[in-house]
Amino acid sequence: MSQLITRTKAAEKLAVSIATLDRLIAAGTLPAIRLRRRVLILESDVTLLIFKRRAELAALTTTTTN
């Protein structure tokens, strides 16, 4: 099972600000778990988002160079 991490740790892993992370959560791009006042994210969801973004960037780079 994946570990739950804080918003701060998730933002660091994604190299984005907390505000951007909050927008990703609000848009449904990054699922989050709310426990009372805390917002936690599954580390595996952060990793998955990183891989998706890399794949999208690679696809854009490939199509623009051909």
- Distance, in Å, from the CA atom of 39 to the CA atom of 58, rounded to the nearest integer, reads 31
pTM: 0.82
Where helices occur in the chain by DSSP H, the ranges are 7-14, 18-26, 43-65
pLDDT, tens digit, 9 for 90 and up, residues 10-31: 999 999 999 999 999 999 999 9
1 versus 3: the higher-pLDDT residue is: 3
Task: Count CB-CB contacts under 10 A for residue 59.
Answer: 10
Q: Which domains does the chain have, with CATH numbers?
A: 4-65 (1.10.1660)
Tokens 């999208």 correspond to what residue?
56
Asked whether the predicted pLDDT for residue 57 surpasses 90, the reply is no
Structure tokens that stand for 8 in this block: 């701060």
Half-sphere exposure of 49 (CA within 13 A, CB side): 20
The answer to whether the beta carbons of residues 17 and 2 sit under 8 Å apart is no
